[in-house]
Structure formats: C-alpha cells, structure tokens
Amino acid sequence: MSVWAVLAAAGRGERLGSDRPKAFARLGGRPLLAESLERLEASAWIDRIVIAAPPEWEEPCILVAEEIGAGKVGSVVTGGAARSESVRLALAEVPDDAAAVLVHDAARPLLPDAVIERVLAPLPEGWDGVVPFVTVPDTVKKVEHDRVVETLPRDELVAVQTPQAFIPSVLRDALSGEVSSASDCSSLVEARGGRVKVVEGDRRLLKVTDAEDLALVESWLA
Ligand code: CTP
Ligand code: MG
C-alpha cells in the first residue's frame, strides 16, 4: 500500500507580485517549488508524488523534478482555477488502492519530515484526515467591514497548515461537489462529517504569500 503526495503548485501568486507563478519565484537560488519537492522526495513516508502545475508551466515543473532527481514524481497535471480544483485534478492520478494521500502547498517550502510523520502516522487509527496546527498568538475577531462583530475565544482556536493527510476515497468524495471557495482540503472533509485530527505543526511551515514572507523563509534556509 502506497502513500501519495499531491503538491499544489498551480497558483498564480498574485499577492507576491512576481513576473512568474509563485512556485517559480526564486528561493535560495532555485524555484520555490524545488524546496518542498526535494523534501517530499527525501521522505521515507512518501512513495509517489503528483504535481499540480500552473497552466503552461508543466514542462518547467518536470525540469525542476529532473534537476533535483525527484524520481517519485509520477505525473505533472495542469492545475485548475482554484486550489481545490487543482487538488482534485491531481488526485485523479492517485490510484484507488493508495493507503493515504498527503496534500501539500508548494507555497510552504520548509517542510519538516517530522510533520509528514505526525500527519500520516495516526491515519490508520480511524481518522478521515489529519492536519497540522499552530496556536494563534493574537486575539481573533470577526468583523464586518470596519466594525468588530465578535471576539472569538482564543483557547478554542488554532491555525491550520499543510501537509494534510487523508484517506484517498474520503478526499475524493469531499472534492466531488462545489468546492471552489474552500481554502483547505480539511474543511471539505469536515463539511461531510469526516473525522479530522489535529497534530502539532511547525512555524517554519509559513505560507509564502508576499515578498516579506519570501525573505523570511529565505532567512530560515539552512
Ligand atoms: N494553488 C493551486 N491552484 C490554484 C490556486 C492555488 O495549486 N488554482 C496552490 C498554490 O500554488 C499554493 C497553495 O495552493 O501552493 C496555496 O495558495 P496561495 O498561497 O493562495 O497561492 P496563490 O494562489 O498562488 O497566490 P495568490 O492567492 O496570491 O494568487
Ligand atoms: Mg490563492
């Protein structure tokens, strides 16, 4: 039984404002995508990898995989208009008998193997999904335009990252409906009544959104 990784790399990176998709922004002299791909390739937990590429960037994705010797990359698919569509398109490459699928954002380059292990290890205990969290240091409020509507109880809140691990059939079902607005896969599984466990994440899994994030992640590179 094999574990498949889906690397969601098909976004445009509009907030980063580069002349190319975010997955190809430079990080440590390489395309950003190379960092997480290399870590997935090196992980003993991962057997096969599918990359969701930005439209017209499929070939460059294959080249990055070849350059770092990522032999686990079985296919590169063209991503969709929204993240969830990109994941759905990549998931079509994952066979039904796969034991688990790990969905990761290429926008989170620093992927510790310990987090891959923490999300995959509990899955056979009967969870539909396992996701990494970090605590929320700030007070979180709900707002409508410029007015505060509610202050949420901070001790009940966590921020959730990727990689997220799922039972493949569960994720396939969750992605089968109207999914375009979902910002992560877990929310779709939860919406169908799935049981999702949280495990400790890692602050280094920061998602690169803007140029400041990119500089910060670059400063953390070993
Ligand atoms: N993603 C994807 N397909 C999309 C949109 C996003 O595979 N249609 C991926 C991105 O490549 C990224 C992850 O989902 O790795 C998280 O998305 P986000 O940080 O929003 O990246 P972008 O959509 O590229 O950035 P922006 O929203 O600023 O355009
Ligand atoms: Mg986006």
Task: Report pLDDT digits (tens) over 126-171.
Answer: 999 999 999 999 999 999 999 999 999 999 999 999 999 999 999 9
Amino acid at 161: Q
Ligand 1 contacts CB of residue 12 (under 6 A): yes
Residues of the chain where predicted confidence (pLDDT) is lower than 70: 222
pLDDT at 177: 84
Nearest-angstrom CA–CA distance, 108 and 116: 13
Nearest-angstrom CA–CA distance, 97 and 104: 20
pLDDT at 3: 98
Q: Which of 15, 18, 22 to mutate to test the pocket of ligand 1 (most atoms within 8 A of CB)?
A: 22
Using CA positions, which residue lies closest to atom 26 of ligand 1? 13
pTM: 0.97
| Ligand 1 atom nearest to CA at 106 | 15
Using DSSP's 3-state secondary structure scheme, residue 79 falls into coil
Contacts of residue 12, Cβ cutoff 8 Å, sequence gap at least 6: 21, 22, 54
Q: Which residues are paired to 141 by β-bridges?
A: 151
Cβ atoms of 27 and 35 closer than 8 Å: yes
Q: Distance from the CA of 106 to the center of ligand 1, in angstroms? A: 8
Q: Distance from the CA of 11 to the center of ligand 1, in angstroms? A: 3
Q: Which residues are paired to 98 by β-bridges?
A: none
Q: What is the DSSP letter of 177?
A: S
Ligand 1 contacts CB of residue 179 (under 6 A): no
| Ligand 1 atom nearest to CA at 82 | 8
pLDDT at 8: 98
Structure tokens at 54: 């930005």
Nearest-angstrom CA–CA distance, 181 and 72: 30
Q: Alpha helices of 69-151 — where are they, by DSSP H?
A: 83-91, 113-120
Ligand 1 contacts CB of residue 197 (under 6 A): no
Ligand 1 contacts CB of residue 90 (under 6 A): no
Ligand 1 contacts CB of residue 79 (under 6 A): yes
Ligand 1 contacts CB of residue 172 (under 6 A): no
pLDDT at 181: 85
Percent helix, strand and coil across the chain, each rounded to 5? 35, 25, 40
pLDDT at 187: 96
